[in-house]
Structure 1
Amino acid sequence: MHADLEALIRQPVAHRGRHDGNKAVWENTLSAFEAAIEQGFAIECDLQYAADAVPVVFHDDDMERLCNTKVDVRSKTSGELGLMSIGGTRDKVPTLARLLSLVKGRVPLVLELKGREGDDEGFASAVLEAVEEYQGPLALMSFDHWLLRDLRELGTTRPVGLTAWGEKPEDFIAHEQAMALGLDFISYHILHLPNDYITLQRSKGIPVITWTVRNAEQQAHSDANAEQITFEGFDPA
């Protein structure tokens, strides 16, 4: 197994950082990432592609939920996003480069690329350029098969994984098409486990991380069906 992936599954992964449900510490902010580092958790976060071709850390396509403005995140440059308050706090939308500068290899990172089919030219390469010199455990993943293909074709040496869910045969067919790219791990919805497809992948040595685990009961369920959890809203220790 890749050393970065071994590091990632060694400890619970804080979903969008160690936020508090967007009360005082908001998701995907430097404050949430610093809190995860202080508590020794790995970090999962989301990447969007800003208008100036710079990857930024943000989940939604639209900025209404997090920034109270009805704006497409991709219509703004990284500089403009860096001035926008998240949840009315002092935290602004950080670039991927700023995240990497904060973490500095102290805990593992898993970066989920949030794509838009037909509008992602350059996204994967921009992410890989940003992480090229990064010293520390780091993995990449996406729901979007075209981005996974781009990451593989660009020759990244970092682990690449499929983010997925589903319990139906047609779901598993789609997952298998992605895994045929030679992916290294799977991040799967906790409520859709166990299932025959994931059991088969684990038997092949493919590690599975679950999302999003929100209590001790779900954590125990994950422990029986996967290698690690992506969690929020409780203390997995």
Structure 2
Amino acid sequence: MSDISWLTRRPIAHRGFHDLNVKRWENTLSAFDAAIDKGYAIECDVHLSSDGVPVVFHDHVLTRLVGQEGHVHDKTAADLAQMRVGGTDDHVPTLAEMLARVRGRVPLVIELKGIEGQDTGLVAAVAQALDGYEGEAAIMSFDHWLIRQFETDAPGIPAGLTAHGRTIRDLEAHFSMLAHPISFVSFGVMDLPNPFVTFVREKLAMPVITWTVRDQWAQDLTTAHADQMTFEGFDAA
């Protein structure tokens, strides 16, 4: 396993260092610039456009963020670039555009979001975008069908499982993903502590980051049961 100590070195700004979508919206170049200014690592979300380009956007549907009907996967990257996020001057950026903006100045944690049967090629497209990128970057996903592709389609890129839940069924599903070569876990802070996270940290010596920390209580949970937080809504300096 490659050294990923950088993953837990600094707090991770959830979807960039936005202001809860008042003026500086999530997953925008402005939010990423603000995180860089603070020296925070950046978490972002990636979907595949209709023409196979990874774009930085959280939701499957467009309504909440750009006020239009439809799905991300139905629009080209050029279409999305014309859309303004939250009515601001920020557009929907491609992953390549975001990487060019960050330029390795802070670490990146990229969450892949896809619809099975719809977003074939997402992992390979993200890996291609990261090919030659000189900064510290990792990929992760909730979607087990995507994680199963990490080893073949994104070899050499640090990869993680995004997860939550504490029921037996939840935990069994999480443990099953340890059969794949993941190197970290991003776990919902509200579901800590639990046996899966304890096993990952203590038996596998694998780093665990949390999501999404919004108050001191959640910070304290992270300190007690994980290695770093993904946060929003406050300055973690």
Q: How does 1:88-99 map to 2 (within 5 A)?
A: 88-99=87-98
Q: Could you say which residue in structure 2 is the equivalent of 1:151?
A: 150
Q: How many residues align?
A: 236
Q: Could you say which residue in structure 2 is the equivalent of 1:168?
A: 167
Q: Could you say which residue in structure 2 is the equivalent of 1:19?
A: 18
Q: Could you say which residue in structure 1 is the equivalent of 2:5?
A: 6
Q: Is residue 219–residue 236 contact of structure 1 (8 Å, CA) maintained in 2?
A: no
Q: Could you say which residue in structure 2 is the equivalent of 1:87?
A: 86
Cα distance in 1 between the residues matched to 2:74 and 2:117: 16
Q: Could you say which residue in structure 2 is the equivalent of 1:46?
A: 45
Amino acid aligned to 1:123? L
Please give the secondary structure, in 2, of the residue aligned with 1:194. coil
Q: Deviations over 1:83-119 (max 9, x none)?
A: 1000000000000000000000000000000011122
Please, which moves more after superposition, 127-136 or 115-124? 115-124
Cα distance in 2 between the residues matched to 1:138 and 1:8: 9
Please give the secondary structure, in 1, of the residue aligned with 2:123. helix
Amino acid aligned to 1:236? A
Q: Could you say which residue in structure 2 is the equivalent of 1:113?
A: 112
Q: TM-score, normalised by structure 1?
A: 0.97
Q: Is residue 127–residue 154 contact of structure 2 (8 Å, CA) maintained in 1?
A: no
Q: Could you say which residue in structure 1 is the equivalent of 2:73?
A: 74
Give every structure 1 segment of 4 or more consecutive aligned residues whose post-TM-superposition deviation is greater than 6 Å.
Answer: none
Please give the secondary structure, in 2, of the residue aligned with 1:56. strand
Cα distance in 2 between the residues matched to 1:65 and 1:132: 32
Shift of 1:199: 0.5
Q: Could you say which residue in structure 2 is the equivalent of 1:194?
A: 193
Shift of 1:155: 4.8
Q: Could you say which residue in structure 2 is the equivalent of 1:30?
A: 29
Amino acid aligned to 1:78? A
Shift of 1:2: 2.6
Amino acid aligned to 1:77? T
Shift of 1:210: 0.2
Cα distance in 2 between the residues matched to 1:80 and 1:172: 40
Please, which moves more after superposition, 10-19 or 197-206? 197-206
Shift of 1:154: 2.3
Q: TM-score, normalised by structure 2?
A: 0.97
Cα distance in 1 between the residues matched to 2:156 and 2:231: 26
Please give the secondary structure, in 1, of the residue aligned with 2:86. coil
Q: Could you say which residue in structure 1 is the equivalent of 2:222?
A: 222
Show structure 1 runs of 5+ residues with no match: none
Q: Give the % identical residues.
A: 50
Cα distance in 1 between the residues matched to 2:141 and 2:154: 16
Q: Could you say which residue in structure 2 is the equivalent of 1:183?
A: 182
Change in CA separation of 1:14 and 1:122 when aligned onto 2, cut-off 3 Å: same
Cα distance in 2 between the residues matched to 1:65 and 1:198: 32
Please, which moves more after superposition, 214-223 or 74-83? 214-223
Q: Deviations over 1:130-173 (max 9, x none)?
A: 10110010000000111111111225211100000010111111
Cα distance in 2 between the residues matched to 1:45 and 1:219: 20
Cα distance in 2 between the residues matched to 1:155 and 1:111: 13
Q: Is residue 28–residue 46 contact of structure 1 (8 Å, CA) maintained in 2?
A: yes
Q: Deviations over 1:22-43 (max 9, x none)?
A: 0000000000000000000000
Cα distance in 1 between the residues matched to 2:157 and 2:168: 30
